[in-house]
């Protein structure tokens, strides 16, 4: 467990050092989405205020970006340029603890970003509800994208590969996965694919909870399945590198 605590301590030191930068980065884009789309464009969606539809999707989106960016870029720089990961490889720290520490740290960063948005929208008086299930979903969503960040950081051959992955994968999910509009309006085939993605599951579940509706526990199972699969991929990359 010491390996996990060491990684978390590193993330905590980084968070304290860049607190204002991290907080502002977590606030600006989501607030712009809410102001421009939610308050600037007055419309209805599925019989409710569009703002009530939008806010849970933006929170899910924020946890995704916060978690992925907290891991992928930093870990990639450490591996390719600082060569700090070489020290991890030769240390007695089990690699699974290193992965777990990164994932937990990234999840907490995403959860922090999501909580900031919840606090900022409270004065609007939308009547949305966020409870323990909401925070669990936010944490799981962050864990999934933190693990994806670990995989991408070790798959990347150079520093530009991480932003390229973000442009090809993360950004399309941000706009398509039930965040700004319902995926139910998509053509069959594409709709089923998009709805199965982790961000879609998180957005839909958070929206159901926020609007006092029953959410499907299947979403938690799907997120857990993604987490296991990407954690296995991250472990494979690390152990492969260690045994070269």
For the entire predicted model, the pTM comes to: 0.88
pLDDT at residue 244, as a whole number: 47
Which H or E element spans position 80? none
CB 26 within 8 A of CB 116: yes
pLDDT at residue 82, as a whole number: 65
pLDDT at residue 44, as a whole number: 53
DSSP for 95-145, please give it. HHHHHHHHHHHHHHHHHHHHHHHHHHHGGG-------HHHHHHHHHHHHHH
pLDDT at residue 41, as a whole number: 61
pLDDT at residue 11, as a whole number: 83
CB 214 within 8 A of CB 82: no
pLDDT at residue 225, as a whole number: 95
Residue ranges of the chain with per-residue pLDDT less than 70: 38-48, 82-86, 89, 240-244
């Amino acid at each position: 467990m010491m390996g996990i605590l060491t990684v978390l301590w590193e993330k905590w030191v980084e968070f304290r050092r860049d607190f204002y930068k991290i907080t502002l980065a977590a606030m600006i884009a989501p607030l712009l989405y809410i102001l421009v789309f939610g308050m600037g464009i007055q419309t209805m969606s599925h019989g409710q205020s569009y703002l009530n539809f939008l806010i849970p999707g933006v929170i899910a989106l924020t946890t995704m970006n916060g978690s992925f960016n907290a891991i992928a870029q930093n870990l990639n720089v450490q591996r390719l340029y600082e060569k700090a990961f070489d020290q991890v490889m030769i240390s007695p720290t089990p690699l699974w603890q290193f992965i777990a520490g990164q994932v937990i740290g990234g999840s907490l960063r995403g959860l922090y970003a999501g909580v900031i948005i919840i606090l900022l929208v409270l004065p609007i008086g939308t009547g949305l509800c966020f409870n323990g299930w909401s925070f669990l979903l936010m944490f799981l969503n962050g864990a999934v994208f933190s693990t994806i960040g670990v995989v991408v950081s070790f798959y990347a051959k150079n520093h530009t590969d991480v932003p390229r992955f973000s442009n090809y994968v993360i950004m399309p999910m941000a706009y398509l996965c039930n965040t700004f509009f319902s995926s139910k309006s998509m053509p069959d085939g594409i709709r089923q694919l998009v709805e199965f993605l982790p961000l879609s599951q998180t957005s839909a579940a958070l929206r159901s909870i926020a609007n006092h509706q029953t959410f499907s526990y299947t979403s938690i199972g799907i997120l857990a399945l993604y987490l296991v699969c990407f954690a296995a991929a991250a472990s494979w990359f690390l152990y492969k590198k260690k045994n070269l």
